[in-house]
Amino acid sequence: MTKPKTSAASPPQVHSRGADFLLRKPLTATRAARIIASFTISATILAGVLIHFTDEQNFQNIGDGLWWAVQTVTTVGYGDHVPTSTTGQLVAALVMIGGIGFLTVITAAITSTFIENARAGTEDPESDAVPAKLDQIRARLDGIETALRDIGVRDRDE
């Protein structure tokens, strides 16, 4: 007995809709930095609220949680608020990794923008004309070679 075939068309996935939204415009270094910064800010706020509910003993209000999340994601870490519960420490680890990733990507995006601007300033606007000039020179040399051959043939015939 054979299994019934399932339809190849499946409903669109949520992540594909998100990717379509993000990739609607070309992805530049500046746009990537904005997307990552937005995601990091959202994750920081979420972590600040989440740490309050996972470790209420050390984070008695959401303000304390948000303060902790900001100093953790920016890798400052004053140490005035420290999670002691296992769940709180797990949240802290995720925020720390996110903060390191955020700083790395933002640094790379800024560097990439500097490099793009430097390249744009050093590119020669006439660089596209070089192949055309070479083609002209090649055509002239071909004409000169043909003329020299014709002169050589005429000299032999005389």
Q: So what's the pLDDT on residue 138?
A: 94
User: Tokens 């043939």 map to which residue?
Assistant: 153
The pLDDT assigned to 143 comes to 92
Calpha distance 139→29 (Å, rounded): 43
Cα distance between the two ends of the chain: 95
CB 43 within 8 A of CB 95: yes
Residues 6+ apart with CB under 8 A from 43: 73, 95, 98
Res 72: pLDDT: 87
Domain membership of residue 54 (yes or no) is yes
Question: Do residues 114 and 137 both lie within one domain?
Answer: no
Per-residue pLDDT of the chain (158 residues; tens, 9 = 90+): 455 554 455 555 556 766 666 667 777 777 777 888 888 889 899 999 999 999 888 899 999 999 999 988 887 878 788 888 888 889 889 888 888 888 888 888 788 878 887 887 776 666 667 888 899 999 999 999 998 888 877 777 66
**Structural domain total, the chain:** 2
Domain match, 93 and 136 both: no
Pairwise CA distance, residues 27 & 118, whole Å = 19
Per the structure, the complete domain to which residue 140 belongs is given by 125-158
Strand, helix or coil for residue 26:
coil
CB 44 within 8 A of CB 70: yes
In a domain, 81, yes or no: yes
Supply the pLDDT for residue 139: 94
